[in-house]
């Protein structure tokens, strides 16, 4: 029913869900734009999954690298913002034909200026700035009223802008920029302080307001991108991501995207992204996904029977539409020997197989104060899970 694997490399390759081939790497000549000099680049033949893009080598870091860590609320949001944007990209850029590269056109200065607030004429004069430098996409804070009134009236909607580039072969053994995908991270909660180093206050922002403001900003951004050298004609997709509050243990999600065809500075009709992350157990899970909630509770109760007085099973479910696609479960527990850890892992594995439908991918991470103990992965539509016992 199950396989115990102690070799981490074998485990990683099996998780990829494909039979990788380490053939000789393919060399191409990369030409980023008409004014740049040609340079050699490498496209690795190895690809771990059809769900991922191959990356052009040598790796070129984004001009805005590092900003996302400061601007996005949690590590969960950071991971989902980046990987979710790649999923959105697949709606227009095929993983078989296009190659991923970090954004090369929006640098830190540009992104920081776009993330700032708009300024009034008086504020521009005080800052000794010109109207051409007034590029902020967040609303004006005119300074009128109390701090609560000002932040309720004009919260910061836009937290971060992420750029991904997608390169394509042009048929002459060269690659060129074939498309750009932009992610806008939007706040569901606006945080502010009444005084420097004082307490932090919160202003909730409704989803409907986030959507309206995000789409309005996207319309302005596509016009600005068309003015960037090298982006005048390439297809561009802009996607909207609503990040969770700072205390959340599940990430936010993309909820809409729109596409601008070659040379167009107008976004086409907006498409919904029906993705969501749900915490188990939670009231939301019970209300929206009762059957999945019941399956999780039964699993949790059986695990807790194994160790009396234990109550620490937490799950994070990823939904597309109303269908649970993936469930990641964390079980932190104290063990008093390796045999105890192995026995518990085998018990949990049997419960994963018997209690969750086969169409769901399930991953269980068992940890202790000493670190990771075991990892159980049951991929969708596979009867046998893969189990790794950490040595």
Q: What is the mean pLDDT of residues 191-199?
A: 89
Q: Is the whole-model pTM more than 0.75? A: yes
Is 80 exceeded by the pLDDT of residue 201?
yes
What are 319-336's pLDDT values in tens digits?
A: 999 999 999 999 998 887
What are 269-285's pLDDT values in tens digits?
A: 999 999 999 999 999 99
Q: Which residues contact 355 (CB under 8 A, 6 or more apart)?
A: 295, 298, 299, 302
Is 80 exceeded by the pLDDT of residue 8?
no
Please tell me the predicted confidence (pLDDT) of residue 23: 47
Q: How far is CA 189 from the centre of its chain?
A: 18
- Nearest to residue 304, comparing CAs of 290, 294, 314? 314
What are 333-387's pLDDT values in tens digits?
A: 888 788 989 999 999 999 999 999 999 999 999 998 889 999 999 999 998 999 9
- Nearest to residue 387, comparing CAs of 336, 337, 347? 347
Please tell me the predicted confidence (pLDDT) of residue 14: 35
**In this structure, what token pair is assigned to residue 352?**
């994963």
The b-or-e profile of 276-304 (16+ CB within 10 A means b, else e) is bbbebebeebeeebeebbebbeebbebbe
Report how far apart the first and last C-alpha atoms of the chain are (Å, whole number): 22
Is 60 exceeded by the pLDDT of residue 3?
no
Q: Which residues contact 201 (CB under 8 A, 6 or more apart)?
A: 147, 148, 151, 191, 192, 193, 194
**In this structure, what token pair is assigned to residue 64?**
């805005």
Is 70 exceeded by the pLDDT of residue 2?
no
Average pLDDT, the chain: 89
Please tell me the predicted confidence (pLDDT) of residue 387: 97
Among 48-57, 64-73, 218-227, 379-388, which stretch is predicted with the lowest mean pLDDT?
48-57
Task: Give the pairing type, strands 236-243 and 271-272.
Answer: unpaired
What are 300-317's pLDDT values in tens digits?
A: 999 988 877 676 899 999
Please tell me the predicted confidence (pLDDT) of residue 182: 98
Instruction: For the chain, give the secondary structure using H, E and C.
Output: CCEEECCHHHHHHHHCCCCCCCCCCEEEEECCCCCCCCEEEEECCCCCCCCCCEECECCCCCCCCCHHHHHCCCHHHHHHHHHHHHHHHCCCCCCCCEEEEECCCCCHHHHHHHHCECCCHHHHHHHCCCHHHCCCCECCCCCCCCHHHHHHHCCCCEEEEEEEEEEEECCCCEEEEEEEEEEEEEECEEEEECCCCCCEEEEECCHHHHHHHHHHHHHHHHHHHCCCCCCCCCCEEEEEEEECCCCCCCCCEEEEEEEECCCCCCCCCCEECCEEEEEECCHHHHHHCHHHHHHHHHHHHHHHHHCCCCCCCEEEEEEECCEEEEEEEEEECCCCCHHHHHHHHHHHHHHHHHHCCCCCEEEEEEEECCEEEEEEEECCCCCCCEEEECC
Residue with tokens 């009134």: 149
Percent of the chain topping pLDDT 90 = 73
What are 111-129's pLDDT values in tens digits?
A: 999 999 999 999 999 999 9
Q: Which residues contact 38 (CB under 8 A, 6 or more apart)?
A: 29, 30, 31, 174
Is 60 exceeded by the pLDDT of residue 251?
yes
Q: Which residues contact 326 (CB under 8 A, 6 or more apart)?
A: 317, 318, 360, 361, 362, 363
pLDDT interval class at 45 (50, 70, 90) = confident
Q: How far is CA 262 from the centre of its chain?
A: 26
């Amino acid at each position: 029913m199950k396989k115990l694997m102690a070799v981490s490399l074998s485990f990683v390759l099996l998780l990829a869900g494909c039979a990788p081939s380490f053939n000789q790497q393919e060399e191409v000549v990369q030409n980023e734009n008409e004014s740049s000099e040609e340079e050699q680049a490498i496209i690795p033949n190895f690809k771990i999954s059809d769900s991922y893009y191959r990356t052009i080598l040598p790796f070129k870091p984004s001009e805005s690298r590092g900003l996302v860590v400061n601007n996005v609320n949690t590590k969960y949001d950071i991971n989902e913002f980046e990987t979710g944007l790649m999923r959105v990209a697949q709606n227009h850029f095929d993983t078989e034909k296009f190659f991923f590269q970090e954004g090369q056109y929006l640098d830190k200065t540009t992104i920081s200026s776009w993330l700032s607030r708009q300024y009034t004429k008086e504020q521009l004069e005080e800052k000794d700035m010109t109207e051409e430098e007034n590029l902020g996409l967040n609303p004006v804070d005119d300074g009128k009223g109390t701090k609560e009134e000002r932040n309720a009236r004009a919260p910061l909607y836009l937290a971060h802008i992420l750029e991904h580039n997608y390169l394509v072969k042009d048929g002459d053994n060269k690659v060129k920029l074939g498309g750009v995908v932009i992610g806008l991270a939007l706040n569901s909660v606006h945080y502010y302080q009444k005084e420097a180093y004082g307490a932090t206050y919160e202003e909730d922002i409704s989803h409907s307001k986030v959507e309206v403001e995000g789409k309005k900003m996207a319309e302005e951004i596509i016009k600005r991108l068309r003015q960037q050298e090298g982006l005048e004609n390439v297809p561009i997709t802009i996607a909207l991501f609503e990040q969770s509050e700072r205390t959340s243990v599940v990430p936010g999600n993309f909820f809409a995207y729109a596409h601008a065809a070659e040379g167009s500075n107008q976004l086409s009709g907006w498409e919904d992204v029906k993705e969501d992350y749900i915490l188990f157990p939670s009231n939301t899970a019970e209300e929206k996904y009762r059957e999945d909630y019941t399956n999780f509770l039964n699993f949790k109760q059986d695990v807790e029977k194994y160790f009396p007085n234990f109550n620490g099973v937490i799950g994070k479910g990823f939904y597309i539409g109303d269908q649970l696609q993936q469930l990641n479960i964390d079980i932190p527990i104290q063990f008093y020997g390796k045999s105890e850890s192995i026995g518990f892992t085998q018990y949990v594995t049997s419960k994963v197989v018997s209690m969750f439908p086969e169409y769901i991918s399930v991953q269980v991470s068992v940890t202790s104060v000493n670190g990771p103990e075991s990892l159980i992965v049951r991929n969708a539509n596979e009867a046998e899970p893969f189990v790794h016992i950490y040595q």
